[in-house]
A = this chain, B = another copy of it.
Amino acid sequence: MTRPRGRPHRNRAPASRERILDAALELLDTGGIEGFTMRALADRLQVNPMTIYHHFGDRDGLVDALSEHVYAEVSAPASGAFLERMRSLLQAYHERVLAHPGLTLLIFSQPAVFPRQAQRITDEIKLLLAEAGLPSAMSRLWLNILVDFTHGAAIASAMGDRSSSATRDAKEDYDKTLSVLLKGLNT
């Protein structure tokens, strides 16, 4: 190691939360869940493995921070027809999943991590269903349908092809499938 032992002088900090998160996403998108280790990430950052622990606590903390970072802007438009707002929300979430499929697998395979963003998005779906005036029993079942379908589609995209053309097809396929599903909500 060429780096001196102490704290680097200001404007030279080799690791910030931002830089670590970006590098982590790159590593995950490139090498998949398999190659995503604390030590590999440290190597990529040219930093001691323990530096990451200083910023995120532990591996679960890092995964949690990643999902906060990736899903933060997913939300339904404030106005519009109920069905279109729901469609926008689910498509926005799916777009983020397609952008970083490995993160989905990482979250699902790390039982200790249940990202707040996942809960927030679920709550938003629930709220939309309530606003649409569905009876509460029906609303609960449709919440299951939409959440489970979304997670299943996430898994499918995470296990599938990763070429950009396949990703485009995946988006189109998802949109069409979602339309069919949402027809059931309309009747």
Interface positions of A (Cβ within 8 A of B): 32-34, 105, 108-109, 111, 114, 138, 141-142, 144-145, 147-156, 158-159, 173-174, 176-177, 180-181, 183-184, 187
Q: Which residues from chain B contact A151 at a C-beta distance below 8 Å?
A: 148, 151-152, 155-156
Judged by DSSP, the binding face of A is: helix
Contact A141 B180 (CB under 8 A): yes
Copy tally for this chain in the complex stands at 2
- Greatest chain B CB density within 10 A among A148, A150, A158, A176 is at A148
The answer, among B32, B109, B158, B184, for a CB contact under 8 Å with A181, is: B184
Q: Which residues from chain B contact A150 at a C-beta distance below 8 Å?
A: 152
- Measured CB to CB, the nearest residue on chain B to A34 is B111
